[in-house]
C-alpha cells in the first residue's frame, strides 16, 4: 500500500468534496470542529485559560509536590471509594 502525502491544497479540495456531499449531521460536526479550532479558549477546568508560562509553572509546582510526597496513590483512592 502506497501512502499518498497530501499537500494543503489537496486536503482543502478533498474536504470541500466531503462538505459538498455531507448530510446535515456531518456538516454540523465539521462546523463544531472548525468553530472549536478557531477558538482561543483553553478548556482546563476550573478557571480561565492559561498561557504557556502559567502552564509550565503549574507543571513544575506539581512535580515539586510529588517529590515532597504530596500525592494520593491508587490504593488510597480505592480505599476511599470503598467508603462511598
Q: Which long-range contacts (CB under 8 A, 24 or more apart) does 9-16 make?
A: none
Count of structural domains within the chain: 2
Q: Are residues 35 and 54 in the same domain?
A: no
pTM of the model: 0.40
Going by C-beta distance under 8 Å and a sequence separation of 6 or more, which residues neighbour residue 41? 49
The pLDDT value recorded for residue 50 is 80
Range of the domain at 28: 1-39
Q: Which long-range contacts (CB under 8 A, 24 or more apart) does 19-28 make?
A: none
- 34 plus 54 within the same structural domain: no
* Together in a domain, 52 and 29: no
Q: What is the pLDDT of residues 25-79, one digit of tens each?
A: 999 999 998 888 776 665 556 777 788 999 999 999 999 999 999 999 999 999 9
Q: Would you say residue 1 has pLDDT above 50?
A: no
Same domain, 31 and 2: yes
Amino acid at each position: 500500500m502506497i501512502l499518498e502525502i497530501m499537500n494543503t491544497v489537496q486536503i482543502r479540495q478533498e474536504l470541500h468534496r466531503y462538505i459538498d456531499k455531507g448530510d446535515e449531521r456531518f456538516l454540523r460536526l465539521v462546523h463544531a470542529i472548525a468553530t472549536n479550532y478557531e477558538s482561543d479558549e483553553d478548556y482546563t477546568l476550573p478557571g480561565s485559560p492559561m498561557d504557556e508560562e502559567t502552564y509550565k509553572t503549574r507543571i513544575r509546582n506539581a512535580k515539586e509536590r510529588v517529590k515532597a510526597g504530596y500525592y494520593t496513590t491508587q490504593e488510597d483512592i480505592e480505599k476511599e471509594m470503598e467508603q462511598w
